[in-house]
């Protein structure tokens, strides 16, 4: 099987859009709280509702995949995201802002789902792991550019609404790119639901859910750091917006470098040991960051970065015949876990402060490592 590059290109573009629109929220979070005059726990609803709506988006997308091809679904999600971002920028009341956060979550959830299906389909077996790391490097590049984008717009406008409004151009460009003729031959007609249910591999829900939980705990830790690092530096260290954006940028540089390393180098050890080692080193960095210097929190991005693409590679190897189902289950679980994380961290921040709330990242990673170890032990026992 040869690599189908149009599928790879549209996937890379989609995850870039997902990354940059998702990650402008972290640096803007303190300004949004101030603008609407709401508490940390109330403000966390913008993340939690966006994540929770991503759960419904993943389940909804699973149904859409029986009726439309993946490119059409991606196209309409881009249009929905464009209008959602415009709505966020114009909302004059916090509850209206939350309404558009929900529509943002639905649209971005679908945009995040489709590339994780298309790359395993379009990649040749020998390049799948590296192309998946490359896919999530696009998220890393976008995440790196997001705080720089915020700082650049803030330097001449000084208004978070302007930053949101201008970011709407990214999903709209992707919407237009989907019309390019090179993509048409590579997006198959959907399999009717009645035929898909005949596939015995569709009964793998519990194993898929187990794999999804392993990933979702790590994703919760990663997103906790990326979304709250600016708030942590401003509250705990009294940094300015520009100084806090520096550490957020440092985190995303580390995230990008970690994914680029796994894109360029194919390690010979098993996927289990690669994932477990990355998780363990992330725990060490977070502990050092909370107790010694904030730079270690930023550095943790380097070690947590490869976990997501490596887990996608593991999931695609475990469930090759029902990848749509496995990925949608994974995305739905991620969305639910992120909603729980945002609500929990918001409440802990209100009650005990951001420093203690940040320790939740260590708990999430410990749960992920435990679940991964159980998976490996059960796999070995079956051999």
Residues in the chain: 383
Instruction: Report CA dihedral (308, 250, 293, 233) to the nearest 10 degrees.
Output: -100
pLDDT at 304: 93
Rounded Cα gap, residues 1 and 177, in angstroms: 26
**What are the pLDDT digits (tens) for 340-373?**
888 888 888 888 888 888 899 999 999 999 999 9
pLDDT at 368: 94
Q: Looking at the whole model, is its pTM more than 0.85? A: no
Instruction: Report CA dihedral (85, 86, 92, 96) to the nearest 10 degrees.
Output: -50
Q: Which residue has the tokens 């550095």?
A: 299
> Around Cβ 329, how many Cβ atoms within 10 Å?
25
- Give every CB contact of residue 314 below 8 A, 6+ residues apart in sequence: 211, 271, 272, 275
> Around Cβ 180, how many Cβ atoms within 10 Å?
12
pLDDT at 186: 56
Contact 117, 323 (CB under 8 A): yes
Topology (CATH level 3) of domain 5-382: Growth Hormone; Chain: A; (1.20.1250)
Q: How far is CA 309 from CA 89, 97, 198, in A?
A: 32, 32, 30
Rounded Cα gap, residues 383 and 381, in angstroms: 6
Q: Which residue has the tokens 């942590």?
A: 232
> Helix-strand-coil percent breakdown of the chain, rounded to 5?
85, 0, 15
Rounded Cα gap, residues 356 and 353, in angstroms: 6
pLDDT at 200: 46
**What are the pLDDT digits (tens) for 45-93?**
887 787 778 777 777 777 777 777 788 889 999 999 999 999 999 999 9
Give the chain's residues under pLDDT 50: 200-201
Contact 123, 1 (CB under 8 A): no
pLDDT at 191: 58
Provide the CB-side half-sphere exposure for 218 (13 A, CA). 31
pLDDT at 60: 75
Q: Render 74-137 in DSSP notation, one character per residue.
A: HHHHHHHHHHHHHHHHH--SHHHHHHHHHHHHHHHHHHHHHHHHHHHHHS-GGGHHHHHHHHHH
Rounded Cα gap, residues 282 and 304, in angstroms: 6
Rounded Cα gap, residues 42 and 33, in angstroms: 9
Expressed in angstroms, the distance from the first to the final Cα of the chain is 29
Handedness of CA 56, 59, 61, 66 (dihedral sign): negative
């Amino acid at each position: 099987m040869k690599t189908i590059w149009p599928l790879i290109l549209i996937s890379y573009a989609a995850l870039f859009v997902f990354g940059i629109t998702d990650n402008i929220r972290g640096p803007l979070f303190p300004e949004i709280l101030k603008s609407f005059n709401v508490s940390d726990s109330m403000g966390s609803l913008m993340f939690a509702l966006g994540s929770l709506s991503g759960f419904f988006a993943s389940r909804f997308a699973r149904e859409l995949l029986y009726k439309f091809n993946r490119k059409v679904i991606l196209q309409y999600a881009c249009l929905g995201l464009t209008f959602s971002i415009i709505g966020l920028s114009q909302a004059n009341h916090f509850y209206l802002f939350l309404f558009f956060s929900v529509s943002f979550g639905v649209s971005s959830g679908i945009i995040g789902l489709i590339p994780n299906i298309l790359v395993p389909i379009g990649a040749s077996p020998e390049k799948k792991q590296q192309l998946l790391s490359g896919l999530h490097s696009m998220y890393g590049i976008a995440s790196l550019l997001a705080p720089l984008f915020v700082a650049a717009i803030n330097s001449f406008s000084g208004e978070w609404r302007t930053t949101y409004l201008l970011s709407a151009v990214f999903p709209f460009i992707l919407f237009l790119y989907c019309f390019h003729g090179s993509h048409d031959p590579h997006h198959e007609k959907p399999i009717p639901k009645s035929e898909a249910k005949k596939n015995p591999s569709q009964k793998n829900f519990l194993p898929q859910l187990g794999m999804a939980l392993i990933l979702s705990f790590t994703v919760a830790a990663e997103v906790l750091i990326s979304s709250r690092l600016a708030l942590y530096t401003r509250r705990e260290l009294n940094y300015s917006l520009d100084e806090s954006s520096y550490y957020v940028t440092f985190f995303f540089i580390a995230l990008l470098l970690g994914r680029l390393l796994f894109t360029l180098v194919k390690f010979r050890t098993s996927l289990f040991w690669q994932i477990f080692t990355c998780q363990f080193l992330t725990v060490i960095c977070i502990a050092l960051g909370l107790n010694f210097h904030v730079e270690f929190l930023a550095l943790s991005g380097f070690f947590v970065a490869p976990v997501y693409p490596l887990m996608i590679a593991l999931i695609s190897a475990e469930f090759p015949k029902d990848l749509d189902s496995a990925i949608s289950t994974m995305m739905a679980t991620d969305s639910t876990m992120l909603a729980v994380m945002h609500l929990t961290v918001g409440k802990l921040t209100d009650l005990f402060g951001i420093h203690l709330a940040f320790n939740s990242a260590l708990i999430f990673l410990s749960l992920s490592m435990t679940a991964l170890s159980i998976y490996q032990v059960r796999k070995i026992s079956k051999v």
